[in-house]
A and B are shown apart, each in its own frame.
Chain A
């Protein structure tokens, strides 16, 4: 479903990603872990081209972008429409209700009919447990509720891949569970997901593959048991010791 070859990204002089190769099969959940500044969020943002890679090839589904040549905005927008993203700080549209947040993409981007979109949005909000909050504005919702609206908003575009950028990092501890539960349900349904997170429990339970990144490179990747129980690399061991 996703394949990345030789991905690099530099901000001015600073090289944040130093050549990443990665592939994700359809229906897989890949969790990316690593210390802050390791480039994991940048990697995720390169997957939907919120950051334009400096070089390398990124492909999702049928579409391929080769950043060794110029890539137009139109190509980027087309490519991005295959993905959905859930942000650390939710980034809901504050001037729209939960329902309107979810409806916005299908309505404006896909230009689907309003009634059908409304039904779909209501169903998605029920699915994330917010069927009774559809007319609430973001400021009237808790962090966990806002993040679940964020997930519903991403799902409304029926993406091939869902990207999660530290989806629970801004949440109060007691609200983390409700968001993780929604994510686990999605994983069970076979959604292809790439998740940057510090939630090691989630990684152990849900991930098909865990990727440990540091200093802009993939240090080690493997099944959760391999990474968490018997990491091969010293740097992975150090990181896991620090967070446990």
Chain B
């Protein structure tokens, strides 16, 4: 640490070089964020949420086979490392003649992951809505589907915003794993630049700060969303 700082302070040329690298790497890294990290996060989260709602509905349905499929899916995804899942999709499937480009591979891998984790959040949120709400829906003639869609899910979505925000923010950071299946997202840009000038500490710290900024902005968004959804509760 001391040596590193000394080497910078005692050598004006080195300092200038570092500032230069930090500046010139910012654009490619932001480009990686805007072209890959952020779209990957958003697309994956939307697809993952759809999958999660379907999985949660299957989990609480009375149809045994649906329950079973949902359980196996959740167990398999949660029981295996995300990185291994990504490698199977990108490096493994070509063996079966199924070659998928890096970005779609990442979308598939991350969506499956979000689907499994978020489904448990959504299931818990659905189960947390009082039974009286179902009965009130039924009492005005609703079917199961109508009560679920109109009465239960809107309330459950409010309950699940804080835990889902956690999942979302984790996802932003997890997308850095896509660098290992050749998606040129933000962290891969940092790696590529660092490989040419060996300034690992500088570039990886820069990447860390950029992730932090993105997550910070998202958590502000989360606060706003919660405040908006809170309009119908007293507390």
Contacts and interface: CB of A to CB of B under 8 A. Distances in A.
B14 interface: no
B158 interface: yes
A137 interface: yes
B138 interface: yes
A139 B232 CA distance: 7
Given A93-B151, A137-B232, A139-B233, A77 B132 contact: no
A95 interface: yes
Contacts of A156: 140
B79 interface: no
A93 B136 CA distance: 8
Interface stretch (A102-110, A193-201, A213-221): A102-110
A92 to B, nearest CB: 7
Interface stretch (A1-9, A78-86, A179-187): A78-86
B154 interface: yes
B133 interface: yes
B146 A108 contact: yes
Nearest to B229: A95
Contacts of A109: 140-142, 146
Contacts, number: 69
A138 B234 CA distance: 9
A87 B140 contact: no
Given A95-B232, A108-B146, A137-B232, A80 B141 contact: yes
Interface residues of A, number: 29
Which among A50, A91, A109 has the greatest number of chain B C-beta atoms within 10 A?
A91
B140 A91 contact: no
B226 interface: no
A17 interface: no
B37 to A, nearest CB: 34
Contacts of B231: 137
B132 A87 contact: yes
A139 B234 contact: yes
A73 interface: yes
B192 interface: no
A94 B150 contact: no
B141 to A, nearest CB: 4
Contacts of B146: 108-109
A117 B70 CA distance: 40
Contacts of A50: 135, 138-139
A94 B155 contact: yes
A87 B136 contact: yes
A157 B135 contact: no
A48 interface: yes
Contacts of A94: 155, 232-233
B144 interface: yes
Nearest to B131: A91
Interface in B190-235: 231-234
B143 interface: yes
Interface of B: 130, 132-133, 135-136, 138-144, 146, 150-151, 154-155, 158, 231-234
Interface of A: 48, 50, 73, 77, 80-81, 83-85, 87, 89, 91-96, 104-105, 108-110, 137-139, 153-154, 156-157
10 contacts: A48-B139, A80-B141, A87-B132, A87-B139, A91-B133, A94-B155, A94-B232, A137-B232, A153-B136, A156-B140
